[in-house]
Amino acid sequence: MRSALLITASLIALIQPAIAQTVPDDDEAEDQQVPRTEIVVTGQRLDAARSKVEPSLGASTYTLSNEAIEHRPGGETRDLGFILAQVPGVRRDGSGALIVRNAPGKIQYRLNNIILPEGVADFGESLSSRLADKTELITGALPAQYGLVSGGVVNVTTKNGLYMKGGQAELYGGSHHSVEPAFEWSASRGGSSLFASGSFRRSDIGLAPLDAAANPAHDRIRELEGFLFADHLIDEEQRTSLILGSSNERNQVPGRAIAGLPGAEHAHGERRVSNHYAIAFYQRSDEALTLQASMFGLVSNEVIRPDEPLSLAADGVSRATRGWRRSVGTQIEAAYEAGARHTLRAGILLSNDREREAERDLAGTPLASAALFDADSVEHRVTASAFVQDEVRLAPRLTLNAGLRFDHVTDVGEPAQLGPRASLVYATPAGFTAHVGYARYVVAPPLGEAAPRSPFSGGAVNDSAREERDDYFDVGLQQKLGEWTFGIDGYWRSARDLLAQREWQFAPIERSFNYRRGRLHGVDLSLTYADGPVTAWSNLALAQANGREIVSNQGEFSAAQLDYAAAHDLPIDQDQRVTASGGLSYRFGHLLLSGDLLYGSGARRTAAGGVPNGARLPAHATFDLAAVYRLSLIEGRPLELRLDVTNLFDRSYGLGDGTGFAGGAPQWAERRGVFVGLEQSF
């Protein structure tokens, strides 16, 4: 009877707006944690001091613990982008990249508050959730320490061997010939600790399927990922850390049906992407001052080889494209508690980025500059940013956070920009919090796209992509009542030269363009319930995003599209008016049951009458289920048996059809999948 009631409650919870954070099981916590020695206490104090350097005061912040991730369908086998799709106002496009509040463009990723330089692919697709102890999405009117993007920031607090012991070995697989072996390992000695993880994944579905087939043709993926975090406590006030990460992905590129090219849908190609990054970190904290300094580096590569007959049929050339990116930089930040009422923060960021793009035929001969890229183009960007900020406690319950940010980017039209930020937060001991904030953002186009380029279609040179400027207003409140937490957050964003992306027709290659004006607004609602073994969450996002007049890379569009966009406010491709998610998890004894839901009202497409982005794809809803049973077999070490079912009702729906302004190929969701896993602790 109790199980039946819980199932009924889960169905009710799935249609209400919320977000979840699961509390770890007591037995599980004992297996993973080490005793609270003096060294552990010192590490926790330094962690708390580090979090004070970059608070999200006044912004909208959503947090997921590692336990919450493990209890959801797919568990730690899912990348961070998939997990964050359960956050209010967030969804993934067919490529796996996150879309936050209907905003086009990339978001920023950080590890332990240190920026990861932008690679050739979105980090949400390559960062494994195994490395995350806590994952935060910070969006809205962000404080002055966050810059260079306007959509949001994903900050991952990595696992730390200082607080864990032993490891786990896992084998996971099932539908679509998928298999994924993985491991985690952690250890510490004295003030030194180490955490490492790695995985290999093979599946017959990599990129978004081009049709509704249950088993897409020529879409195989091979992916290898590794991560290491080393930490050393020098004394009670100082620590040093090192992060090393690597991912290598090899995708088949399915053929794309193209008008006038018979048989194109049977063609295929290949895409290889790799990201290798390193971060060295130093922290010093005393009673009033916390200083942290880091150096980071990234090496990123991408090779795309479209089908040779398709390339020859399209323009008489069999081509392959390759991109290299090298980034190095430093980030230095400090927080100083100047008495009982003020906390001062300041910091600088310096980065040097170099990118090379080349296009060659399959024999290795460089192509002429009239092709997709210049034969060998090398782009260079230096970014220098600085911020100052004062957190003022105006009253016991009222806090003002005001700051100013300066960004200088060398390869854009106006390299130097100022961005004021301010927020006001009211919080009571009874669990009520309200905030209102304003932020001025400046976003540079991707490296290499701030200079004129030849259009994909082979026409004349276009106007170059421009930097985007945003005025962002955000207001919200949250109330906690016993086991329930309710939140509502509204936003309005006005953008000049709104950046968006358009994909090439023959391969997954994107180029940016600008709308002269963009307007994005909406409201996010959330509701969470947590009581002992039961956790339920649901989210509802209502949003609208419009753009007007295309002012860069015009050669990628038809004359009719340009004329219509110049005379109308039209929905941008990412405009999905309703997005919802929710779920429930329940643990009784050694068994955990969970389920979640994703709903979308449909992305934009061109209407039958030819009106650009005047129609939308059909609405869709998918359900996932999971069951995890915990045993103790080998010397009392836990063994977890997992069963996951994704897209339970085998819904077939499109994520995009390639007719909108974003172009590209059709994208479809994966069909039903059944997966099993074994995870042995040691």
Give me the pLDDT at residue 44, please: 84
CA-CA distance, 126 to 171, in Å (whole number)?
Answer: 19
Give me the pLDDT at residue 255, please: 65
Query: Domain limits at 198?
Result: 2-681
- Phi/psi region, residue 663 (left: phi>0; alpha: psi -120 to 50; beta: rest), is left
CB 22 within 8 A of CB 68: yes
User: Which tops the pLDDT comparison, 216 or 244?
Assistant: 244
Q: pTM higher than 0.85 for the full model?
A: yes
Average of per-residue pLDDT values in the chain: 84
Helix runs in 210-340, H state only: 308-315
Helix (H) or strand (E) segment spanning residue 563: helix 559-567
Percent of the chain with pLDDT over 90: 53
- Distance (Å) of CA 496 to CA 515, 544, 548: 8, 17, 10
Give me the pLDDT at residue 532, please: 87
For 536-554, give one letter per residue: b (16+ CB within 10 A) or e: bbbbbbbbebbbbbbbbbb
Per residue in 250-294, pLDDT (tens digit) is 988 776 655 555 555 555 678 889 999 999 999 999 889 999 999
Q: 288: closest CA among 342, 332, 231, 235?
A: 342
Q: What is the CATH number of the domain that holds 580?
A: 2.40.170.20
SS3 557: coil
- Domains in the chain: how many in total? 1
CA-CA distance, 275 to 289, in Å (whole number)?
Answer: 35
Give me the pLDDT at residue 43, please: 84
Dig out the tokens for 616 from the structure: 């939308």
Give me the pLDDT at residue 170, please: 95
Rounded to an integer, the average pLDDT of 383-408 is 95
- Of the pLDDT bands very low, low, confident and very high (cuts 50, 70, 90), residue 79 is confident
Give me the pLDDT at residue 320, please: 65
CB atoms within 10 A of CB 35: 6
Whether residue 360 is predicted with pLDDT greater than 70 in this model: the reply is no
Per residue in 622-656, pLDDT (tens digit) is 999 999 999 987 777 899 999 999 999 999 888 88
Whether residue 598 is predicted with pLDDT greater than 80 in this model: the reply is yes
CB 479 within 8 A of CB 574: no
User: Which tops the pLDDT comparison, 322 or 515?
Assistant: 515
- Of the pLDDT bands very low, low, confident and very high (cuts 50, 70, 90), residue 118 is confident
The dihedral sign for the CA sequence 26, 27, 28, 32: positive
Whether residue 526 is predicted with pLDDT greater than 50 in this model: the reply is yes
CA-CA distance, 497 to 194, in Å (whole number)?
Answer: 45
Bridge-based pairing state of the strands 153-158 and 108-111 = parallel
